[in-house]
Structure formats: structure tokens, C-alpha cells
Amino acid sequence: MDALKFAFEVLIVGALALPWVAILVRMFSPYAAPGEPEKPLDILQFLLAGLGDDARSAVAAAMIVAIGYLLGSAVTRISRNFFNDELLGRVPTEDQIRDDLYWDEYCMGQLLGDLELPELRPQKLSSIAEGLCSPATPSSPDAPAIPALPRRRLFRFRKTIERSDRPEDFSARVQELFLLQESNLLLNGEDKVERLKEYYDQITVLRGGAFNGIILCAVCLFGFCGNYRVRWSNSPVLKALTFVPAAALALYGFISLLTHWTGKGLSAYRDPPLAETVLLLLGAVGVFVILKARHATYYGPLCILAAALSLVSFGGWWWTEVMYDLHVIHSVPDLPQRGRDVTPQSATTPPR
């Protein structure tokens, strides 16, 4: 039970993935035998058919928990990459939210003067504070100083003013500063970061729920298109149009996957192409759903419901992500300087 409490939010995300898994199973489940009434084959009962009655319930519970944890773990990791990928365009991502928030809090709010931040690079950039809101100082002491950035929102600045350093450099400094602050806060102990853990668990559940809702909405949309493919069977043009959503999604995922591998110098562990792969697989599954899925009248209403729940979950994740970053910012007033003597020997040596 303690293990289930530890992975409670993962199991919730896995349970939220069961609707679209059940829809896919219902679409392609074989019938028990030819000529029998249309009743889908019970997969769980089929897998447990070789067990006795006493052990069947225990094994079934263990399988349900294992499948839920497996789905939850996969969806949790994939959803984090999916909602932090550049292919979403103007949709807010985790890094974009954090960049704009740090710009507002530090660069416009003038909070950097209250922080003592560690050194980033010797002789070139004395601290993160000096390089976060202004471009890096040139290495030559005789080089002219680069003026600080105008005080305006980061997303407007990217669109209207030419920066001497790239937005990617600002984002990299923000991510490094955030990781330092978050790690320093977590070292205070579990009892001191209870609110932070609540925000993190909410982010995990809301982000996973939004991702599951998107998949459910897409699967139901493809099933809805499959219904119209049969209805428009006499018109080849209209019949071909039903494949447009799935084909467009698969094509966009394929092009994004090629762009990811050919246009970036990052290693695979830094930025795996999970979001691109999800779009490609979802589009391929959509084509198969439109061709082979069984017809049902609930595809359209369920698609609308899934889209609404996805928007609500995405909005909740967006605001919780903001609250999480604000909590980290305002709970860590300073970080230890690299120049300070923080070795274990200095901490244990008694004063003379």
C-alpha cells in the first residue's frame, strides 16, 4: 500500500488513459465466435482462463495495477516532452512559461539585487544574475559594455527588437537558474516542500489528463470519420476527404521527426523525439481506424467531451505550472556562492 501511495498520481494518469485504450480495444476486438451476438471478447478473462478461481481475482488485481502503472509512467514522461516541444508552435510550453515568468519576476521586478547567485563562468561572467537579464559581458576588458535589455515582456521582445544574444541563451540561463533554485529548495527536507510537492503532483495529473484527452479526442475523431467514410461510399471524393485528418497528422509528425534528427545538434537523451513520434503513430493509427474500426454513434459526442476536458486540464496545468515556478522563486532567497568554503572539513573543524 505504501508503494501505491508513492505512485498515486502515476496510477491516476494511467487510469485516465484507460478510456482511449478501451475505445481502441472496442474498435478492433474480435468476437467470441462467428454467428454469436455482437459481444466483444473479454481480454482479461481470456488471459486469466488458465488460472483457478481462487487465484484469478488476485492475479487480475495485480495485472490491473501493473497495467495502470505502466500506462501512467509512459504517459507521464511522454506528456512532459509533448507539452514542452517546439512543434506546438504558439501553444505555451513549460520552458516558455518559465522564461516569461522569470523575465517578469527578475528582469522587470528587479529581484536580482536580492539574490546571491553562484558563479557561472570564471573571468567571463561573474554570476548568473549579471547574465540573466542582459547579454553576456565580452571577455576583453576593453570591449564596450552591452546595454541591458529593455524592460518589456520577453515574447514581445523576441518579435520586435534585435537582441545581441539569442533567446535560446536566455532560456538556457533560466533553466539553469531554476534547477539550482529547485534543488536548493528540495534539500530543505520533505516537510519543508509539502506545498511544492502538491503543485508537482497536480502538474503531473493535469498534464497527463490533457494528453490522454487529446489522444481520446483524436481516436474518436478518426472513428467519426470512419462512419462518414461508409456513409459516403458512393462518392470517391468525399470518401477520400475522410482520411485528411489522419493523413495530415501523420505527415506533420513524419516531417517533424525528420527535422528533429537533421536540424539539431543535441544528443538523443537531451531531447528525444517523443512528441514527433506520438503524432506520427497517432496519424498512422487514425488511418487504420478509419479503414477498419467498427461503427458507433458515440464517437462524435465523446470527441467533443474529450476536447472540452483536454482544454480544462491544459488550462489547469498552465496555471499550476506558473504557481510552481513562483513558489520556487519566492522560497529560495539566495544560493551559496561558489567562492564560499563549504567543504565538509570546514563545516566540522571547531573554531580556534
Quick check: is 64 in a domain? yes
Give the separation between CA 212 and CA 14, rounded to whole angstroms.
9
Q: Tens of pLDDT along 307-349? A: 999 999 999 999 999 999 999 888 865 555 444 444 444 444 4
What is the grid cell recorded at 165?
A: 544574444
Q: Tens of pLDDT along 180-197? A: 888 888 888 777 788 888
31 beta partners: 40
Ranges of residues in the chain with a pLDDT under 50 are 32-35, 41, 119-126, 135-165, 337-352
280 and 154 within one domain: no
Range of the domain at 154: 90-138+148-171
20 and 162 within one domain: no
207, 131 Cβ separation under 8 angstroms: no
For the chain, give the number of residues: 352
Residues whose CB is less than 8 angstroms from the CB of residue 35 and which lie 6 or more positions away in sequence, other chains included? none
pLDDT at 32: 45
Give the separation between CA 7 and CA 3, rounded to whole angstroms.
6
202 and 103 within one domain: no
pLDDT at 266: 57
Give the separation between CA 18 and CA 12, rounded to whole angstroms.
10
300 and 202 within one domain: yes
324 and 201 within one domain: yes
Give the separation between CA 192 and CA 186, rounded to whole angstroms.
8
297 and 236 within one domain: yes
Quick check: is 338 in a domain? no
Give the separation between CA 121 and CA 124, rounded to whole angstroms.
6
166 and 46 within one domain: no
Quick check: is 345 in a domain? no
Quick check: is 47 in a domain? yes
- For the chain, the domain total comes to 2
Buried b vs exposed e over 253-262: b needs ≥16 C-beta within 10 Å?
bbebbeebee
Q: Element (H or E) spanning 53, and its range? A: helix 53-82
Quick check: is 318 in a domain? yes
Quick check: is 110 in a domain? yes
> For the CA atoms of 252, 257, 259, 265, what is the dihedral angle to 10 degrees?
160
287 and 196 within one domain: yes
312 and 229 within one domain: yes
Quick check: is 349 in a domain? no
3-state secondary structure 9-43: HHHHHHHHHHHHHHHHHHHHCCECCCCCCCCECCH
78 and 198 within one domain: yes
Q: Report helix, strand or coil for 125.
A: strand
pLDDT at 294: 82
Quick check: is 342 in a domain? no
279 and 156 within one domain: no
Residue type, 19: P
229, 242 Cβ separation under 8 angstroms: yes
pLDDT at 346: 44
Give the separation between CA 66 and CA 283, rounded to whole angstroms.
28
242 and 114 within one domain: no
Give the separation between CA 85 and CA 279, rounded to whole angstroms.
12
